[in-house]
């Protein structure tokens, strides 16, 4: 069992760089990503993945994504979930996430999510974190921000899902890289793949 006594508050410079990065990312018309970017005091993780699901429609995908009360049954990292509010195509949801890789981290998170029909059956979904805290009250910086962007496109014979995850964590603390590096650098990509796989499974 590992225990870290040092706690790290999120530096304003990292938060500002993340906000600027997200602004540029959201202005892009295509879902291209795949990098971990070092910023002052943190790491921005930008990854994308896609899948084709036969014999399904965008509306069926939207139904899965909007069923927040069942997220703990659908997504392996979600241990508790709750829809907080709904106003048209705008949702607020709370998720408790459990991430385990050498260390186990439990995070209480909240999101504002916007669903937007963009014509010809296409949907865009933007999920932006408004709260990310460690359940034990610590702040080791395993995750400070977590946004997700979906493009849901009808195609002959099914539907194509594209998901882009943009998150912010602290950089690897000196001397702790052997234990923390897999959490900070590898887990965002693995979590994205698991989320997309679970969505596809729920549709089947």
Within a domain: residue 173?
A: yes
Question: What distance in Å separates the CA atoms of residue 181 and residue 171, rounded to the nearest whole number?
Answer: 9
| Residue 106 in this model has a pLDDT that exceeds 60 | yes
Question: What distance in Å separates the CA atoms of residue 44 and residue 89, rounded to the nearest whole number?
Answer: 28
* pLDDT computed for residue 146 by the predictor: 96
Average pLDDT of the residues in 68-86: 97
| Residue 27 in this model has a pLDDT that exceeds 50 | yes
Within a domain: residue 52?
A: yes
| Residue 120 in this model has a pLDDT that exceeds 70 | yes
Average pLDDT of the residues in 1-25: 72
Domain that holds residue 175: 31-203
Tokens of 86: 């709904």
Q: Which of 16-25, 96-105, 113-122 has the lowest mean pLDDT?
A: 96-105
Average pLDDT of the residues in 85-98: 98
Q: What is the 3-state secondary structure (H, E, C) of the chain?
A: CCCCCCCCCCCHHHHHHHHHHHHHHHCCCCCCCCEEEEECCEEEEEEEEEEEEECCCHHHHHHHHCCHHHHHHHCCCEEEEEEEEEECCEEEEEEEEEEEECEEEEEEEEEEEEEEEEECCEEEEEEEEEEEEECCCCCCCCCCEEEEEEEEEEECCEEEEEEEEEEEECCCCCCCHHHHHHHHHHHHHHHHHHHHHHHHHHHC
Which residue do the tokens 């995908």 mark?
61
Average pLDDT of the residues in 113-118: 97
- Percent of the chain's residues with pLDDT above 70: 87
Predicted TM-score (pTM) above 0.85: yes
Within a domain: residue 19?
A: no
Within a domain: residue 15?
A: no
* pLDDT computed for residue 2 by the predictor: 34
Average pLDDT of the residues in 26-37: 76
Query: What is the pLDDT of the chain when averaged over all its residues?
Result: 88
Average pLDDT of the residues in 38-45: 90
Domain containing residue 75: CATH number: 3.30.530.20
Within a domain: residue 14?
A: no
Within a domain: residue 109?
A: yes
Within a domain: residue 1?
A: no
Specify the number of domains making up the chain. Answer: 1
Q: Which of 53-62, 122-131, 177-186 has the lowest mean pLDDT?
A: 177-186
| Residue 1 in this model has a pLDDT that exceeds 50 | no
Residue range 141-199, pLDDT digits in tens:
789 999 999 999 999 999 999 999 999 998 765 555 556 666 667 788 999 999 999 99
Within a domain: residue 179?
A: yes
């Amino acid at each position: 069992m590992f225990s870290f006594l040092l706690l790290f508050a999120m530096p304003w410079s990292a938060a500002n760089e993340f906000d600027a990065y997200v602004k540029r990312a959201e202005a892009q018309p295509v879902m291209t990503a795949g990098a971990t970017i070092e910023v002052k005091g943190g790491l921005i993780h930008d990854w994308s993945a896609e899948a084709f699901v036969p014999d399904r429609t965008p509306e069926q995908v939207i139904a899965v994504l909007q069923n927040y009360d069942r997220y703990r049954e659908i997504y392996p990292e979600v241990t508790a979930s709750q829809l907080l509010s709904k106003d048209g195509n705008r949702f607020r949801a709370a998720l408790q996430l459990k991430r385990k890789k050498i260390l186990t981290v439990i995070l209480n998170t909240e999101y504002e999510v916007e669903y937007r029909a963009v014509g010809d059956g296409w949907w865009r979904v933007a999920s932006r974190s408004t709260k990310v805290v460690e359940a034990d009250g610590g702040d080791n910086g395993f995750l400070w921000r977590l946004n997700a962007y979906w493009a849901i496109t009808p195609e002959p014979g099914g539907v194509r899902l594209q998901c882009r995850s943009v998150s912010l964590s602290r950089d690897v603390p000196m001397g702790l890289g052997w234990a923390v590096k897999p959490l900070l650098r590898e887990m965002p990509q693995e979590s994205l793949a698991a989320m997309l796989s679970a969505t596809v499974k729920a549709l089947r």
